[in-house]
Structure 1
Amino acid sequence: MPVFPPQALLAACRLQVFDALLGGPLPAPALAARLGVPEAGARRLLDACEALGLLRRSPAGYENSALAAAYLAGADSLRPLVLQLDAPRPDAALTGAAARTQAPSGPAPLLVAPEPPSPSAHAHALAGLWARSITVTFDLSRFRTACHVGGGAGGLARALARLLPGLRLRVFDAPAAMAGVEAEEAEEAGGGAVAFEAGDVFADSLPEADLYVLSGLPHRWPARRVRRLLRRVAAASSPGCGLLLVDALGARSGRRRALERLLQVEEAAEVEAEDEEAAEAEVEDEEAAEAEAEDEEAAEAGVRRLLARLGFGQVQAAPGLELLLAARAAS
């Protein structure tokens, strides 16, 4: 029975093939025994993964490719996201003779039990993906301390701590947003150390840091509140301080709209708090923005102007404006 690409990837993730190979290459019989599946079915699956570029075969056996090692194995892998793929019967390739010997009246045997990922596992995988993207896009070695403002339960901060052991991270958010942090920390065996501090990101003093991290701003607050938060971060930033924006403008189809919202009220946003609070109560426009071709250069120029007004003159932007790193000039 052939193994199709979506089935092979999903079956390998459910069996945790890539995690089983973290310690090094294994021959097919040993790997099948470790996974608890028939050797013939395991070989078909392993060969399919090799053809997809997820595994390599050497005299010592099968081993993870660089792609699989980076994204499909370990604590911050994308395995929970892959498991959400709607692929038909990924375990079919592994049933082999067992399926043919099953009594006709009974269900076909499943060698891979269904394992729907929890919402926290989904968020954990996304955080790991963002953290990898950040570390391969920007050099953060000059920063010693970082504060994720509005970082919730600390998924992104933990993922960054594992990848950047020299960076001391702190999460600053409302107590309700950090609910369950102790339980998650208990599950984090060997994870990077992250400090948590409760407070109102719009009212309380922000913790001191060399680098401030803000993520998913368009998804969480109206544009007027986003601008207010950016001004608060700018006020707390010292010369040489950095500002990292993650998922800066939201989904691609809505980036132009998000950018326009951020830029449309510039210096007028300096009205006093009571005016600001009244504006925050306004209901956001519910009309969905039409997907349109974007002028990335114009969008990046607009973001640079916005950050320059806040004192962040040095801006690096990843393609698509998903990640931006800005810095204040050192005195």
Structure 2
Amino acid sequence: MGYPEELKAHLASGATTICRAWAVTRSDGVVLGFTDHDRAMRFDGIDFMPNTGMTAKALVQSTGLAVDNTEAVGALSSEAIREADIMAGRYDGAEVRVWQVNWADVSQRALRFRGHLGEITRGESAFSAELRGLTEALSGAAGTVYQAGCAAILGDARCGVDLKVPGYFVELAVQEIDAERAFGFAELGSFADRWFEKGRLRVLSGAAVGLVGVVKNDRLREGGARRVELWQQLRAGIATGDLIRLEAGCDRRLETCRIKFSNVLNFRGFPHIPGEDWLSAYPRQAEANDGGSMWR
């Protein structure tokens, strides 16, 4: 995140035309640009708009592995930061990039911060959001967990399953809604009972577009009808007719990986590891005590 030579020369000139610009990439892929300059700017394919009700405090940066942090504050408005989008979770974990820019020549700029939004505090007409630097990830636990179930997430790089393959997903319109958490369908083709359990429901159109829910239950009903229930309700309005995408689920067992996804070579668990009952095993008179392994 160093300064380019042109920007260094401009800063050394003594008469500068410097401002800040920051871009927020939401969880649904929408990118919003802001600046504290009084005119709009554009670079990297992003429009940075002034007077949009958002600003950022001074960056707190340090050497070493300390977490860089700052805070963004702003006003809730229908044009930029909407209360409904915050409540729906569209800004949870959003990526944030902050530049120092020569507004007279936007090619002279330096990236000064890159991280994510942390805790968001919302008031009646304003909000504040913590900005967390990239080094924060280093403060978490890291390493391999030895467990019987698979440690990969279905569809990620470690898993390797392509969820865009026909048979692993279906796209259709919502037909019945119960508290924005359970959805009913007349039929889902030839998908087996519980096929989408532990999978994902993605909203593709309507007010909740871009939101994702995790499937808790997927049950066949009489006449081939289907009921899909989420663990948590979507935090935005969804209506009948909205298009959704259901993706197959995985219970992380070796048998499921082999039979349902034909992906056993990428299984990231340890199915033969002894269970907790083995840890409490002790010799019994009715069993063979020949000095061999107690786990058979």
| Greater gyration radius | 2
Q: Which has the higher contact order (CA 8 A, sep 6+)?
A: 2
- Structure number with the higher helix fraction is 1
- Structure number with the higher strand fraction is 2
